[in-house]
Amino acid sequence: MSEARLPATRLGLLRATRRLERLSRGTSLLRRKREALVAELFSLARSALDTREQIDAQARAAWPLYLEALAAEGAAGLTGLSWPSRELSVRVTARVVWGVPVADLEARGPIVRTLAARGLPPGSVPAAVEAAEAFERLTDLLVRAAPREMLLRRLGEALSQTTRQVNRLERHVAPGLRRQAARVRSALDEREREEHVRLGLLARAAQAQA
């Protein structure tokens, strides 16, 4: 907000006062929003950290199984066992958290398949099946973690923006308005003193002529 000079009138002083009142209310709302965003971030951080640890542990478990299956079946063998391929569909649901638009993801079907869904008889190619299950569990964790990670990122961006707004209002806009109000009030006081002096001179002149 630029510091446009207000006229040195009572109307100008009234405008400055009203602007300061609106600014105070707006700053208070932004502070409460900032506090709510911080609380929401802290409430999500623990579960997000736990999920990241689960993803890391599952990834560490999945890759050795894949390498074992690759050594046992070969690249061509794994390609054949992976047929037919499938598409993983997710449902996206939009929602708003503290004024921040986010999306939830939900898999339309089970990600971890059974042996029947793979079309393999029990006990066949166990290394390949274990590797496939491990990566499907990893995919399931990633799909479930994605909305929370996106929410954390968006809330962090909103918190940063709200903090910048509060700082600008408190450090730049509010002091500027206070300076304008003080300048207008000083000009009005000076004008009132000059008027009193002028009226006093006129009164003395009238008494001298009487």
79-92 pLDDT, tens per residue?
877 776 778 888 88
For residue 163 the two structure tokens come to: 């903090």
| CATH number, domain 10-204, options 1.10.287.3240, 3.30.70.2190, 3.40.190.10, 1.10.10.10 | 1.10.287.3240
pTM metric for this prediction: 0.69
Say which residues have a Cβ less than 8 Å from residue 122's Cβ, sequence separation at least 6.
115
Res. 4 pLDDT band, cuts 50 70 90: low
Q: Give the DSSP H or E segment for 103.
A: strand 100-107
Res. 1 pLDDT band, cuts 50 70 90: very low
More confident residue, 198 or 61: 61
26-30, 49-53, 70-74, 133-137: which has the minimum mean pLDDT? Answer: 70-74
